[in-house]
Amino acid sequence: MTDTVDTTTEATETYVAPPPKVGFRLALCEVRPLTREFAEEFRTMTPSPTERVNDPNRMKHLRGKAERGLLVPFQWSAARYKGKLYRMNGQHSGGMLTGLEPVLFPPDGKVIYSEYEVDTPEDMALLFRQFDDRISSRSPADVSGAYQGIYEDLNEVNRGIAKMGVEGATWYRKFIERVPVKVGDDRYAIFSEAEIRKFVIWLSTVMSIKTPELEKTQIVAAIYGTYITNQGAAEGFWHEVARGGDDFNDRAPSTLLDTWLKAIKDDKEDEYDVKGAEYYQGCAFAWNAFRQARQISTIKCDTSKGLHDLAE
């Protein structure tokens, strides 16, 4: 009789790949009190050869945060190579803190401090890349989305369109109304204004009609300007522009404006040399012709005599 083997009870070996070899290893991670002494110790630590060039603008930016009470716990790291400890990041924050007046030094501050062991200088470079890497950094779109996200009435608005709306409105206020505006990431705080949110919601209905030729800050600034000048007329005009103009009138301002903007957008031979405020000027020219019920044969965008006032 031939013996049979019951294979159903045999254990199946599963191959487990070894973990990838990484040249840095976490040796210590702890929360420490932020004191002036610790900041000075960290500032004077031997810098890693991978460290960024010191940038005074970064120091100024961090000091501004300290002055406004916006500092959060710093994440400082060091690497030990051949027995010696090197600072891996935090040179700007450490330098800024040691230069602060006592009244500005954050009370009860904390630091998340970590130390790593590295085998080679290349491992230092790899470790350096893990701090504030470009993909993880907060972009203007991320910041705009953060402010947008706290207002329920903007939940259904495309984030890119909302960002364009705020940037266009800010440009109009700065260059047309000549009023002080917040700059950088702070500009997105104007989502708090109910009228801005109302404009952004309406703008999304215009931009939903596949209109890449309208997606420029100065053009959106003109849209915003006409909207606050005469909302009803602006709604009709810009929806007509977005649809390609007046189908039955090649000289209608909406038709000429749409044709002009599309030609610039599609320009492959650099025949059009339209820049910055000239986009606003061309839109304002077409709007004024529309409000005056005039037909036109071309779009004029020269800004040498100043920017047009928008007709009501």
pLDDT tens digit sequence for 187-236:
999 999 999 999 999 999 999 888 899 999 999 999 999 999 999 999 99
Mean pLDDT of 63-86: 95
Give yes or no: residues 85 and 196 share one domain: no
Percent of the chain clearing pLDDT 90 (strictly above) = 84
In a domain, 221, yes or no: yes
In a domain, 112, yes or no: yes
Q: What is the pLDDT of residue 18?
A: 64
Higher pLDDT pick, 225 / 14: 225
Give yes or no: residues 124 and 151 share one domain: no
Tokens 């364009």, residue located: 164
Structure pTM?
A: 0.80
Give yes or no: residues 61 and 159 share one domain: no
DSSP string, the chain: ------GGGSPPP---PPPPP-SEEEEEEEEEE--HHHHHHHHTSPBPTTPPPP-HHHHHHHHHHHHTT----EEEEEEEETTEEEE-S-HHHHHHHHTS-TTTSPTT-EEEEEEEEESSHHHHHHHHTTSS-TTTS--HHHHHHHHHHT-GGGTTS-HHHHHHHHHHHHHHHHHTS------GGGGGGGGGSHHHHHHHHHHHHHHTTT-GGG-SHHHHHHHHHHHHH-HHHHHHHHHHHHTTS-TT-TTSHHHHHHHHHHHHHT-SS------THHHHHHHHHHHHHHHTT---SS-----TT-PPPPP-
In a domain, 269, yes or no: yes
Give yes or no: residues 86 and 151 share one domain: no
Give yes or no: residues 85 and 188 share one domain: no
What's the token pair of residue 61?
């930016």
Give yes or no: residues 180 and 117 share one domain: no
Q: Is the pLDDT of residue 6 over 90?
A: no
For residue 273, name the pLDDT band (cuts at 50, 70, 90): confident
Mean pLDDT of 241-246: 94
In a domain, 69, yes or no: yes
Mean pLDDT of 173-182: 97
**Residue 41: which CATH number?**
3.90.1530
For residue 135, name the pLDDT band (cuts at 50, 70, 90): confident
* Number of structural domains in the chain: 2
C-alpha 296/C-alpha 180 separation (Å) is 35
Q: What is the pLDDT of residue 289?
A: 97
Mean pLDDT of 167-180: 97
Tokens 């998340």, residue located: 112
In a domain, 77, yes or no: yes
Contact residues for 213 (Cβ-Cβ < 8 A; gap 6+): 258, 261, 262, 264, 265
In a domain, 119, yes or no: yes
Q: What is the pLDDT of residue 2?
A: 47
Q: Is the pLDDT of residue 106 over 50?
A: yes
Q: What is the pLDDT of residue 186?
A: 93
For residue 20, name the pLDDT band (cuts at 50, 70, 90): low
Give yes or no: residues 225 and 115 share one domain: no
249 close to 255: Cβ distance less than 8 angstroms: yes
Domain range for 52? 24-128
In a domain, 49, yes or no: yes
